[in-house]
Structure 1
Amino acid sequence: MNTPLSPSGAARNDGSSVQIGALVPLTRPGWVEAGRHLLAGLELAVREVNDAGGIAGRPLELVVRDTAADPQRAAAAVDELARLGVAALAGEYHSVVARAAAARADALGLPFLCSSAVLDALTEQPAEWVARLAPAQSHGWRIYADFLLGAGHRRIAVAADSSVYWASGARVLRDHLAPRGGTVIELDMRALAPAAVCDELAGNRATALLLLVGYPEPAVSIVKSVRRDQRLAEITIGAPAGQPEFAEWAALLGGDGAAIPFLRYLPERLSQLGARVETALRERLAEAPSFVAFEGYDTVAVLADVLRSHGADRARTAGSWARVAVEGTRGQIRFSRAPGISVWQWAWPPVQVVDRDPAEPDRFRILHAG
């Protein structure tokens, strides 16, 4: 079903407002916690835009649709939002869903600023209507691979589900690690139970296991099995896709969920703007905001700047990606054509490898930055 609209707007286009369509996973099997943080960032920025006078005196509104991690549902939502007359699209967290939305938006001539999805091939062909804030998977995961090498890991197992996103991540790791003396051992989670993963790790003498799997399951069960296997006491568990970022991870795993390095897209120190937004997001969410919430805020900040400069004309919006220069919560945002990336790309947001401190699981430790 379509979700109700956020408090910032209603589904109409009678000329009284400027509307942005927001694609967000808000129900299972979507990653609901990520969707909630993304929406919080989008809504906060809309509120601040309207408090500052809106878009040339017209209020900015969100028209929210729940994608539920379903590519077909996302494509249908793009069609609906285009008919409703939204000026642009924002959001989405899941890469395979964002890919479907991006293809449809590009075909319809509807500007789409993707907030959080990282799959390199967001569109099959170069797209003029689509831009992205999150770093491409190849960029972030190479940084993660460098972290693994620096930590002394050469035999790295990946517990992988079957999807374009996980296959792409495994390929990035393998291509980056192999020339540098690393070996990637792929464990097919379609054929292995969590307990069997432990036997494979012990037999292959892996020193690190990366979770390229769904959340909460089977990721949580794999972590519990590995943590309880005495043969694997020295193994490092990693989660480049960022599963430990959210509070639910700590709630489900407690101390077992600590010391699991993952990628997040924040600077070491937030700017004055970033710190102010962090405080507001914390109040809105009643918990520490994830990097996904900042991505949501920055998405609306960019679109509002473009809409102020060029109005709600879709072609002018898409034609302005190359001229964007917006101070976001995590640095100045500009878009360019990055090699191998089919959409307009912020190259690059800050990238960190962090984990939860075993002594204080609510605190994050920065282990590596790129």
Structure 2
Amino acid sequence: MNTPPSSPGTERAEGSAVRIGALAPLTRPGWVEAGRHLLAGLELAVHDVNDGGGIAGRPLELVVRDTAADPQKAAEAVDELAHLGVAAVVGEYHSVVARAAAARADALGLPFLCSSAVLDALTDQPTERVARVAPAQSHGWRIYADFLLGAGHSRIAVAVDPSVYWASGTRILRDHLAPRGGTVIELDMRALTPTAVCDELVAHRATALLLLVGHPEPAVPIVRSVRSDQRLADVLIGAPAGQPEFAEWAASLGGDGAAIPFLRYLPEHLSPLGARVEKTLREGLGAAPSFVAFEGYDTVAVLAHALRSRGTDRAPTAVSWPLIGVEGTRGQIRFSRMPGISVWQWAWAPVQVVDRDPADPDRFRILHTG
């Protein structure tokens, strides 16, 4: 990372590293465990690209910047990375942060391949420069809503923190459930304590509570309150954004964190590539890799293909997304334009609704696929 910066948007000297910027939440208040898994996937893919000859014989180098879940910090990082001469930017987990990064990258003419953020409106206007390997929120959350209906839940409460992402999720659920006889009851967590949430669930006769809130606060206290309230023994707790995927969730809640369905973007069976990547990631992380780690790996696999086929100048890379076909860890990745989505989108990564098995919280059960 100490090499002199190259001129932005130009081919680098033969033999020099091809540098790509990487954004991830690596400190609080960002979700650090998600950032660590994302970075592990990115780094493993860079290692594999370089083992395979790099980019036309030149090594691929990752220039990592911590976003700490801060949109302004992410935008500033994109400015810095552009000045350093990176060929493209990849990564990010938090949707609101990725949105800020995408807007800045687009304004600078810098290709941005988003790994994990799902907010549909990743940019305000359609752009050629931004693409995404994670499914859009509307796609995954509609599948989750279908799971709820299939499980017999039509009166669904959502405990909501204020944010564009959570508001978007609430709207998607309401729009999808209402025509099918479902009701969404919104509980504003700015005004309610975890104990008060329990009272609201009883008053509204809700059969399911979805956690559209941050982790660990207030998600963990809400789960503990609901689990300890005998009036709510039959209420399903759900977390569509995927909080229970990570070991930190199980460590915080133990058995109370099981049987809480969430969205996970993995196939039922990994391909040979996916199985190899899973084994290596598990060894490096010391734990089972989350879907976020696979998203990180696939991001670099896609970008390496673009750089090899189109060169390392920014302009050709920025318009290469619809031409790409890459075998990723979770299937064949191709990009297209989807209604209501302003970026090039892989439609779609596999989507599962899973939970942690109460009999063995380290084991995941597949409840529904979409």
The normalised TM-score by structure 2 is: 0.97
Aligned AA for 2:170? A
Give the C-alpha shift of residue 62 in structure 1: 0.3
Q: Distance in 1 between matches of 2:141 and 2:49?
A: 34
Which string of whole-angstrom CA distances, capped at 9 and with x for unpartnered residues, describes residues 234-268 of structure 1? 00000000000000100000000000000010000
Cα separation, 1, equivalents of 2:321 and 2:172: 27
In the alignment, what sits opposite 2:357?
357
**Aligned partner letter, 1:95:** S
Conservation of the 8 A alpha-carbon contact between 1:11 and 1:63: no
Partner residue of 1:325?
Answer: 325
Deviations 1:146-171 (CA, angstroms, capped at 9, x unpaired): 00000000100000000000000000
Residues 125, 11 of structure 1: alpha-carbon distance in 2 compared, 3 angstrom cutoff:
farther
The letter of the residue matching 1:319 is V
Partner of 2:162: 162
Residue 274 of structure 1: aligned partner: 274
**Corresponding residue for residue 308 of structure 1:** 308
* CA RMSD, Structure 1 to Structure 2 (Å): 0.8
Paired with 1:324 and 1:215, the residues of 2 have a C-alpha distance of 36
Residue of structure 2 equivalent to 1:45: 45
Show structure 1 runs of 4+ deviating over 4 A: 9-12
Partner-residue secondary structure (3-state), 1:221: helix
Deviations 1:80-135 (A, max 9, x none): 00000000000000000000000000010000000000000000000110000000
Give the superposition deviation at 1:218.
Answer: 0.2
Q: Is 1:247 aligned with 2:251?
A: no
- Give the partner amino acid of 2:186: E
Shift of 1:11: 5.9
- Look up the SS of the partner of 1:334 in the other structure: strand
Residue 10 to residue 256, structure 1, CA distance change in 2 (3 Å): farther
CA displacement at 1:51 relative to structure 2: 1.0
- Structure 1: which amino acid aligns with 2:78? V
Output aligned runs, 1:63-212, within 5 Å.
63-212=63-212
Q: What SS is found at the alignment partner of 1:64?
A: strand
* 1:73 to partner: Cα distance: 0.3
State the Cα deviation string for residues 194-233 of structure 1 (Å, max 9, x = none). 1100000011100000000011110000000000000000
User: Contact conserved, 2:5 with 2:83, CA < 8 A, in 1?
Assistant: no
Q: CA separation in 1, counterparts of 2:318 and 2:251? A: 42
What is the identity percentage for the equivalent residue pairs of Structure 1 and Structure 2? 83
Determine if contact 1:10/1:63 at 8 Å carries over to the other structure: no
Aligned-partner residue type, residue 323 of structure 1: L
Match of 1:234 in 2: 234
Quote how far apart the aligned CAs of 1:52 are: 1.1
SS at match of 2:361: strand
Per the TM alignment, residue 13 of structure 1 is displaced from its structure 2 partner at its CA by 3.7
- Residue ranges of structure 2 left out of the alignment (5+ in a row): 7-12
